[in-house]
A and B are shown apart, each in its own frame.
Chain A
Amino acid sequence: MKRRSTPIEADLFALLDRLDGDGPTVVSSIRQPAALKEALKVAVGLGLDANANEATVQALRDRLEAFAQRRALDAHYAAHPEARPSLAEVAQAAAELDGDPLANEPALIRRAAKEIEAIRPGATADDVLVYAVALHSGARG
């Protein structure tokens, strides 16, 4: 049976791509916690964004973009399993992006990734970096 998800996913990417143009806008209302609305108002006052509408639209767009990219990456790995980077490789990349001194210690990052994967399946690259700092501190202490 053909999966129905494919055309819907294509729609998601097509719609996200249209966000860079001057497309039409619509007014919509959402039910939200009152405290969230107030927190947004305060955050805008503190400089989060120009106004509450812009902050809401940007936050929603960022979340949708991350979700769509996650789907695309997972589909890519399904087709090309050898392309999937390991947890250690992602942690190494994260350290380099952050300008973290740990980036100069790839062996430590590999060890941290190996140990944390054994005790915590689903660990993230940031978990690895925190663990690597602990290993580093332990080695020095």
Chain B
Amino acid sequence: MSTPPATVVLDNEAVQALADVNHRKHRRTLAILEATNRRSGRRGQHISVVVPVAVRIEAGWDRAASAAAALNRISRTRDVILDGQAADRATQLRRQAGCSVVDATVAQAAEASDGPVAILTSDASDMRRLAALIAGDTRVVRL
């Protein structure tokens, strides 16, 4: 049985695709946001879209920069903060999966968020491996 996610986590390329209207996956990423917005607006079924802070750093997304105004507005994402406890968990996941630092924080953010969780990523195979290591209903959506 299918269940809408409660949270969508963005990876680096999802952010890049949203930020750049000329990116080949810009429209595809907007389709994801449309699906979440329509449900939040019409069905009152709020879906949070979140971004780990390490992803923002990798993607060069400075929310305070004027160039980021459109991205801030269309994405309406909330930051997932990396505190000491989260860093410990991300370190464990990185060790287990042999993944990048940023991917580990994406998995940690997914695990810490209200589920079900959908991770929006360009690297579905690596992220599926990480998703298998974390608790909760986590699905991986390829960009």
- Contacts A20-B78, A69-B33, A72-B73; is A85 near B28 (CB within 8 Å)? yes
Cβ B33 vs Cβ A124 within 8 A: no
For the complex formed, measure the closest distance between the CB of A17 and the CB atoms of chain B, giving whole angstroms.
8
Cβ A97 vs Cβ B8 within 8 A: yes
Cβ–Cβ < 8 Å partners of A91 in chain B: 35
Q: Cα distance A17–B38 when bound, in Å? A: 21
Cβ–Cβ < 8 Å partners of B33 in chain A: 69, 73
Cβ–Cβ < 8 Å partners of A98 in chain B: 2-5
DSSP majority for the A interface? helix
For residue A78, CB closer than 8 A to chain B, the reply is no
Q: A68 — nearest CB in chain B belongs to which residue?
A: B76
Q: Cα distance A94–B74 when bound, in Å? A: 18
* B45-68 to A contact mask, C-beta < 8 Å, 1/0: 011000000000000000000000
Query: Within the complex, which residue of B4, B31, B142 is in contact with A90, where a contact is CB–CB below 8 Å?
Result: B31
Cβ–Cβ < 8 Å partners of B47 in chain A: 97
Cβ–Cβ < 8 Å partners of A126 in chain B: 38-39, 43
Cβ B30 vs Cβ A96 within 8 A: no
For residue B32, CB closer than 8 A to chain A, the reply is yes
Cβ A73 vs Cβ B42 within 8 A: no
Q: Cα distance A96–B5 when bound, in Å? A: 10
Q: Cα distance A82–B73 when bound, in Å? A: 19
Rank and list the top 5 A-B pairs by shortest CB-CB distance, nearest first.
A85-B31, A100-B2, A72-B73, A66-B40, A98-B2
Apart from A62-B46, A69-B74, A97-B36, what are 10 other A-B pairs with CB-CB below 8 Å?
A: A13-B72, A20-B78, A65-B40, A80-B21, A82-B27, A83-B21, A92-B31, A101-B2, A124-B38, A126-B38
CB pairs A–B below 8 angstroms (14 shown) = A16-B76, A65-B46, A68-B73, A73-B74, A82-B27, A83-B30, A85-B28, A85-B31, A96-B141, A97-B8, A97-B35, A97-B36, A99-B3, A125-B35
